[in-house]
């Protein structure tokens, strides 16, 4: 299991790490919504010049502004002092090529009953992306239109997954 490897690595990590106390409030007063893509892990932070403790980072498949992303933003803004929001998409997003039939097939193979699969409206629930840039702009609009989000800057960015170059799609200043 991968867990065994993680636990071994963790022992080494703790031995070599000098513990530091950081606030749970983001130093840069920034909240980010981005994608769960494996290639962004440990990469996006560097590409954006962010250190541990600098920002709230909310991740999901395809950086969608779901109910839960909005819930996390509300906590980040009202409880943790975030004053600026960035929706950060990336090129070559896996959510742009989701094959729903394949997901249904995998679910069946892994023992999920057809009843359960049918009840899930996968297309709507998972929400495929037509275009990574359009998806970011829609996300920014969704946040800005939410009646419980205050008048703070909400930017839209897209990062090149290979080079790390960031393009600004919506500068809200
Ligand atoms: Zn993605």
Q: pLDDT of 86-95, one tens digit each?
A: 999 999 999 9
Number of domains, the chain: 2
Q: Are residues 122 and 134 in the same domain?
A: no
Residue 30 CA to ligand 1 center (angstroms) comes to: 20
| pLDDT tens, residue by residue, 108-129 | 999 999 999 999 989 988 888 8
In a domain? residue 17: no
Instruction: For 49-103, give the DSSP string.
Output: T--TTSEEEEEETT----HHHHHHHHHHHHTT---EEEEEEETT-GGGG--HHHH
Residue 98 CA to ligand 1 center (angstroms) comes to: 11
In a domain? residue 9: no
Residue 150 CA to ligand 1 center (angstroms) comes to: 27
What's the predicted TM-score (pTM) here?
Answer: 0.94
């Amino acid at each position: 299991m991968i867990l065994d490897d993680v636990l071994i690595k963790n022992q080494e990590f703790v031995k070599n790490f000098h513990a530091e106390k950081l606030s749970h409030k983001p130093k840069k007063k920034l909240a980010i919504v981005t994608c769960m893509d494996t290639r962004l892990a440990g990469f996006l932070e560097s590409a954006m010049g962010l250190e541990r403790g600098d920002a709230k980072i909310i991740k999901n498949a395809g950086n969608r502004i779901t109910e839960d992303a909005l819930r996390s933003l509300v906590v980040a803004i009202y409880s943790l002092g975030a004053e600026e929001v960035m929706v950060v998409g990336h090129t070559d997003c896996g959510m742009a090529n989701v094959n729903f039939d394949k997901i249904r097939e995998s679910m069946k193979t892994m023992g999920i009953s057809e009843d359960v699969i049918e009840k899930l409206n996968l297309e709507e629930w998972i929400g495929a992306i037509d275009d990574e840039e359009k998806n970011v702009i829609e996300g920014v609009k969704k946040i800005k239109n939410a009646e419980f989000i205050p008048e703070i800057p909400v930017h839209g960015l897209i990062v090149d997954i290979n080079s790390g170059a960031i393009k600004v799609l919506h500068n809200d200043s």
